[in-house]
Structure 1
């Protein structure tokens, strides 16, 4: 069984996670032809002193990673999970998922973007957090996960590019999503934090060369 408890041990520190998520957003924007279909985005001005990495797969699943001076918070939502608020009788967050989120980070879950109209709780099936100065990622310690599922809270598939951050895993994801080859060397270049040069942008999306479109920064 894969749950947030296993995910927590595989995540890097917030600084490295932030850099990786920014690289995923750059890659998604560079590989794709239409920003409306990007799954990974990064907002450097989410709120005062806050940044947000966002993922939406277009099938009802999403996650957010919020970086603040007080720490970082990861919220994931698997719409097919039994742990979804929509799957419970009282439309409440599954017991234990967010109960232990520290008060300094708890308001981040109440962002309107993470709450659907008609339901008064966050859209969440998996949650992790790490306060500034902490040395490990935390999760709810007393979650009774539903039996019969290898990925009950959706964290295994939601966060797969956060736990396996290899260029090969990232390449496989974008090749599957965009249904065309993506050169591994270009993936490695962006994941290493190097600038998105015109040559790298053209390698990631040959249409850039024919259209003359300038690469996003």
Structure 2
């Protein structure tokens, strides 16, 4: 993984989640959901097609765990699951981070990486010959405004104003007028306001 710090990752999460909220008020269409429980901030990516990614932030520790249902590493689709895959994938992960996941969430894993020092160093036990969908799933966590515009056009069929999108990517927030220019409804504006509170607590 690229050398991304916790602050850079948080900015990218904010940008994607806010843009997703602005583009539709239909929660079932959105890729991202997010929340906070105590000092744990969580984001879950779900494309509705069986692929998911969990990003859990707890202090200086972060876990990014993904599941590409078409990957050969998908043990749920295997005739005989390779439980050694899970042992290797999570080897060395602090138990406090493993306990953030329910067992069925752990079963939905084709890649996993984590940091305990705010992104100075990342740990991953990758499989050989395949990344388990890591590159394309984590590709959504971009800081490229052009990629955001292309995604909005491909996924939502909407053309975004580039300069406003670029500001969102660089700042992780926009004014209400700017959000409306992206297409945000009044309902979405309220949801975005609530979302921003999880970072302020």
| TM-score in terms of structure 2 length | 0.82
Deviations 1:110-141 (A, max 9, x none): 336xx16xxxx43111101000366221101x
Structure 1 unpaired stretches of 5+: 1-7
2: CA distance between counterparts of 1:134 and 1:181?
33
1:194-213 matched pairs, under 5 angstroms: 195-205=173-183, 208=185
Deviation by residue 1:180-209 (Cα, 9 ceiling, x = unmatched)? 21111121122222643232122111x73x
Query: More relative contact order in 1 or in 2 (CA 8 Å, sep 6+)?
Result: 2
**How far apart in 2 are the matches of 1:70 and 1:184?**
33
SS in 1 for 2:109: coil
Is residue 106 from structure 1 mapped to residue 98 from structure 2 by the alignment?
A: yes
> Residues of 2 paired with 1:36 and 1:161: CA distance?
18
Distance 1:13 1:152, change over 3 A: closer
**Which consecutive residues of structure 2, in runs of 5 or more, have no partner in the other structure?**
194-201
1:74-122 Cα offsets, whole Å, 9 max, x none, are: 10000111101213313637252222323332222x336xx16xxxx43
Structure 1 pair 194/102, CA: closer, same or farther in 2 (3 Å)? closer
Q: Secondary structure at the match of 2:89?
A: coil
Instruction: Kindly indicate which of the two structures has a greater share of residues assigned to helix.
Output: 2
Please show how residues 150-189 of structure 1 align to structure 2 within 5 Å: 151-162=130-141, 164-189=142-167
Decide whether aligned partners of structure 1 residues 134 and 167 sit closer, same or farther in structure 2, where only a CA change above 3 A counts: closer
Which of 4, 18, 43 aligns to 1:12? It is 4
CA 48–194 in structure 1, closer or farther in 2 if over 3 Å, else same: closer
Change (3 A) 1:132 1:77: same
- The aligned length equals 189
Aligned to 2:34: 42
Measure the CA separation in 1 of the matches of 2:138 and 2:29. Answer: 19
Q: How many Å apart are 1:42 and its aligned residue?
A: 2.4
CA-to-aligned-CA distance 1:146-174 (integer Å, 9 cap, x gap): x5xxx540111111122x42111111112
Whether the 8 Å contact between 1:22 and 1:53 is mirrored in structure 2 is no
Partners of 1:187 and 1:61 lie apart in 2 by 26
